[in-house]
Structure 1
Amino acid sequence: MSVKRQRATGRTAGGRTTGARAARTRVAGALAAAACAAALLPGTAWAAGDGGGYAFEDGAQPVQGAVSHLDAEQLRPGKTYRDTIKKDGKLYYRVDLDAKQNAYVSVVAVPKTGGKVAYGDGIKVSMRDGSNNRCGSQEADFGSAEFARPITAYADRTIDPDSSTCREQGAYYVLVERDSAKESDPADWELEIRFRTEPGLTKAGPTALPSNWPSATPAPPTGGPQRRDGGAGFGAATSLKQGEWRTDIRPGQTLIYRVPVDWGQQLFVRAELGSSPASDEYLSHALALSLENQVLGHVSRDTMTYSGDPATMALQPERPVAYENRFSGNYSTSAVRFAGWYYVSATLSPAVAKEYGDKPLPLTLRVNLTGQPKDGPAYDGPAGSFAVTDDDRDAAASGQSGPQAARSDTMKVVGVAGIGAGGVLLLGLGAWWLLARRSTA
């Protein structure tokens, strides 16, 4: 009889309720699941690189360049890859193109931090069709600022209505070449490789550049500096809008920012290094400033001298962003060929540490955007990243990096994720309370 009663009431010999225990177990599982669900919701925390080295894009896939184009691995549109290149090395990659889209393969070359580089050291990236006709190429080197830092170059296949080459559908080959002086560091350089495609046009647009364009530098932005620290890689670049932006930069460190530049707009960038009481030694090329377009094609660069007093520099003005710029023979003009994110990188020479110590120096970037945004070209498909969106402007205002902005977009899509997580927890607690009441009863 007692056994039957125990089974009927669910009570054990010790007086504990097995039904309540099971209920609590179920609730604990539900609460654990709710906690896990909340933990998996998109967040806003993101850890940037420590500035001591380059931060490669998350999810970049390994690829191995070939010494012969016939053995080249295929790159996929929209993907980012990683590889290494030896001193004076040559590597081939393959891309399959249609007869409509423009195509771009960019390479970020990342030498070993602190490694020795010479004036002409650098990379050359070229794209060729199956008949070995060169479609487009670009070279990048360290110039007079002979210290190791990330440098970029790209190769393109541009559909040119006045040219019959490089227009066919089929396999194209990208050749990456490294040049290094005899006395330079022989260590391998790491490569970050991107393959991007731009939609074709529904109808041909203008190919001739206007003879006149606004080249006067605007007055610096007002309102005072705001704090915004740069990213350690192009994939982690900190977003900026027009304004005055303050950070600190250590010798040997590279900081990377991005600015959304729409069709018809011009980007102007100035940099200022703050004073240092540590020394008054004159250093040429103390700061290197570089500008890249949204597919990481190189646009322009300059360097700044420093002697302990405040020092300023400005990148040369470029034409307003326009589709027809791509048909210019000037590589800087050709590079401002589409709207999107433009990247600004600043590197402080390691030589600064010897004279001024290894502490950071104050750095201010002054960014101007002039010109009213215009309609883009008549693409025959979605513009994708070759446009500036309201979300891009929001990211620039808030300072979000690309990964942060992507997570923010995810939050917008789910909308009620935060409320949902709280709801799941409240439901779990409610279920626990009801089961506890039922067990007590």
Structure 2
Amino acid sequence: MRLEPRHHLAGLAVLLIAVTSGTVGAAAAPAPGPAAAAAVAEDDGYGRMMLLLDASGSMAEPAGGGQTKIAAARRALTTVVEGLPDEAQVGLRVFGAKVFSRTDPGSCTDSQVVVEPGTGNRDALRAAVGAYEPYGETPIPHALTEAAKDLGDEGARSIVLVSDGESTCDPDPCRVAAELQKTGIDLRIDVVGLSVSGKARQQLQCIAEQGNGTYYDADSAADIESRLTRVAARAVQPFTLTGEPIVGGPESSPTPIAVGEYVDSLGASGDSKSYVFTRETAGTTLRVAALSQGETGFLDGVIAEVTGPAGRCDYASANRTAIDVREVMGVQLTAGADLGSSNVEGCHEPGEYVLTVSRARGGTEEVPFGLVVTEEPPVEEVGFSDPALANLSVAAPHVSGPVQKVEGAASFDAAPEIETGSWSSTVVPGEVLFYKVPLDFGQAAQVSVEFPEAGGELAEQFGRFPPSANLTLFNPLQAQLGYVDGSEWLGSADGTTLQTAIPAVSRAPSEIRSAKFNGGADVTAAGDYYVSVSVQKQDHTLEIPFTLNVEVIGEPAAGPTYADGATWSITDGAGEADGEGTATGDSASPSDNESDDADADGGAEAAAGGSDEGGPGAAVAIGVGVLVLAALAGAAILWHRRAAS
């Protein structure tokens, strides 16, 4: 199925939350507003999660396999706790544990913290999980509200609700979840329902939906353990935005920005924020990316444009066309002498360039978005140029050797690194997974995703209408690429092969690049390119297996040379070379960032045996049974954000 390009991504279901830290320095950035501050990680680099456990009397009922629900939940939760890395900040709250009947005073406020959120509390968590007993009612609204208070009001926070029934108290817990989610754009509520059906299941599903989380069914003792441990492993990190908090102004009074990464927020459909970048040197190339996950449950979109002294230099838009996937829209703007999509002359001249990002349609609530600003020095020689590879058509990747297992990530900065070969992975409907493929100048890539024909329980859940799957590519700025000729990027997640390609990375201003790549972002900078696999949500909670095939074509070639001996990469600003040949500018060099990451994440990386950039590679096999402790540790609950000083 061949369609016109779309801009797609999504964040995934979170059970054990990961948060990032670090900011990119920027000039003239104002103090963050509440929403922007919530989108940025805390100083200590980690978020907080509360396990919220149902201790109502119905938890004593059988769960199948000779166990009660409470016994099965204890066993599963103990496995999860034992797999937590030391850095994970996790607490435990119960509800319905002390007041027996709904006619007794305090039954609707019966919720207690038994373990405060922290990192040195594993023994206390294990003891508390083993001690809690089924007893009272089901005051979910109060428990949710108190769990949110336990987590504070800043940074990324997650509530994991484990329950077997419908709330016995007012107000409607679905409405409470929606109100709590509005208080912080990085608060999520994920729900595991234990042998529930009918109205109770609908209510728990609604709590997850309104809390920007995911609902999972667990129907038997074995299923409870499988679901909790499986979801714990795959929910290692949510989609996160990196950057310094900033508040954009109106177009008539834009906020000054410099090279760097920023996080701001947009209100309802039609809202816009503007920024002004001052170019000091003629001939540089200004690249800007804007990306947002948008609002779950709505069609959404992002529009961006850059206007210079001579007029509008570039315009881009990204629209989400499905409401049941947590997609992210990523667009790129370019203002330069040879790469912009506009015919306006003078987009390489010094002066003030106004960047405006707008909410396109559909959304009603405030959402965060990221802004990436780079400036490339004037180019003297473009380096590698090969029209054949620049106009690459889709072909099946040539791969050999054994299929390797890899766990996809929910964010760009946590994506595991893959290379030429076949990689097996799984995706749950509603997720979007990321994998990174480093490409140097002169290198291209063919990419395919194979979904086998569904069988067994998966086929039974799919029925006649399997969910749709998407294959999407992103450049190092995290903006979506267009689709080359022959791309099959959308199809069923049942017995379908999707495929597309990345043309050779080149700074040469060929026709395909001057219009930007087929309506998407360009491929003019070496760095990490991203493969994204997403599946539409249709109330399925089973994992869908797939094979990701990647073929990197070509050897690294010469990149561009810059005026006055400057050096530059996609993570740097424009600057003259210093005495050691390193670019100076507003960002740290990649080597600085990698060194910081290695120091911070070395222990987790050693355990995972994963990538050596930005965190563990998370090459973890997920089975239908209990994940072993090593797999949970290898999944790495928490990831650091790459910091730039």
- Normalising by structure 2, we get a TM-score of 0.47
Summarize deviations over 1:365-413 as a string: whole Å, max 9, x none.
Answer: 11111112211111242233479x9989x99xx64274228xxxxxxxx
2:528 corresponds to:
341
Among 555, 567, 575, which residue is 1:382 paired with?
A: 567
1:215 pairs with 2:426: no
Q: CA deviation at 1:237?
A: 2.1
Taking the TM superposition and a 5 Å limit, the aligned residue runs for 1:7-406 are 51=235, 54-58=238-242, 60-70=243-253, 72-99=254-281, 100-113=283-296, 115-117=297-299, 121-131=300-310, 133-143=311-321, 147-160=325-338, 164-180=345-361, 184-201=362-379, 203-205=380-382, 210=387, 213-215=391-393, 217-274=395-452, 275=454, 276-279=458-461, 281-283=463-465, 286-300=468-482, 303-306=489-492, 309-315=494-500, 317-325=501-509, 328-332=513-517, 335-351=522-538, 353=539, 357-379=540-562, 380-385=565-570, 399-400=610-611, 402-404=613-615
- CA gap of 1:340–1:67, structure 2 versus 1, over 3 A, is same
Taking a change above 3 Å as real, the CA distance of residues 86 and 163 of structure 1, as seen in their structure-2 partners, is closer
> What is the CA-CA distance between 1:266 and the residue it aligns to?
0.9
**Deviation digits for residues 235-278 of structure 1 (CA, Å, limit 9, x no counterpart):** 22222111212222111111112111111111111112242332
1:107–1:191: 8 Å Cα contact kept in structure 2?
yes
Structure 2 equivalent of residue 19 of structure 1: none
Say whether the 8 Å CA contact 1:95–1:173 is kept in structure 2.
yes
Alignment partner of 1:344: what SS? strand
Q: Aligned-pair distance for 1:49?
A: 9.7
Shift of 1:284: 7.4
Distance 1:282 1:370, change over 3 A: farther
Paired with 1:366 and 1:233, the residues of 2 have a C-alpha distance of 20
Does the aligned pair in 2 maintain the 1:246–1:362 contact within 8 Å?
yes
Residue in 1 aligned with 2:125? Answer: none
Q: In the aligned structure 2, how far is the partner of 1:50 from the partner of 1:105?
A: 31
Greater Rg, structure 1 or structure 2? 1
Separation of aligned partners in 2, 1:143 and 1:46: 38
Cα pair 1:325 1:336 within 8 Å, conserved: no
Name the aligned partner's letter for residue 210 of structure 1. P
Report the CA distance between 1:326 and its aligned residue. Answer: 6.2
Please provide the CA RMSD for this pair: 3.7
Distance 1:363 1:69, change over 3 A: farther
SS of 1:238's partner is coil
Tell me, in whole angstroms, the C-alpha distance in 2 between the residues paired with 1:199 and 1:89: 33
Q: Which ranges of structure 1 fall in alignment gaps of 5 or more residues? A: 1-43, 406-441
8 Å Cα contact 1:288/1:304 also seen in 2? yes
Distance in 2, matches of 1:179 and 1:296, equals 19
Residue type of the partner of 2:411?
A: G
Please tell me whether the aligned partners of residues 283 and 305 of structure 1 are also in contact (alpha carbons under 8 angstroms): no
Shift of the alpha carbon at 1:313?
Answer: 0.6
Count of residues paired in the alignment: 344
SS of 1:239's equivalent in the other structure is coil
* Contact 2:433 2:534 (8 Å CA) reproduced: yes
Give the direction of change, closer, same or farther, for the CA distance of 1:377–1:62 in structure 2 (3 Å limit). Answer: same
Give 2:585's aligned residue. none
Instruction: Provide Cα deviations, 1:71-101, integer angstroms capped at 9, x if missing partner.
Output: x222221333232342122221121223332
Equivalent residues of 1:256, 1:346 under 8 A apart? yes
CA distance in 2, matches of 1:252, 1:359: 11
> 1: distance between equivalents of 2:301 and 2:328?
10
Structure 2 runs not aligned, ≥5 long: 1-84, 89-231, 573-589, 599-604, 617-645
Most deviating of 213-222 and 370-379? 213-222
Match of 2:110 in 1: none
Aligned residue identity for 2:280 = D
What is the TM-score when the length of structure 1 is the normalising length? 0.67
Contact 2:441 2:505 in 1 (8 A): yes
- AA in 1 matched with 2:301: G
State whether residues 292 and 370 of structure 2, in contact with CA within 8 Å, keep that contact through their aligned partners in structure 1: yes
Q: 1:267 to 1:85 in 2, by over 3 A?
A: farther
Name the SS for the 1:278 alignment partner.
helix
Check the 8 A contact 2:475/2:481 in 1, yes or no: yes
Cα 1:211–1:221 change in 2 (3 A) is: closer
Q: What fraction of aligned residue pairs are identical, expressed as a percent?
A: 20
DSSP 3-state at the match of 2:316:
strand
- Range that drifts further, 226-235 or 143-152: 143-152
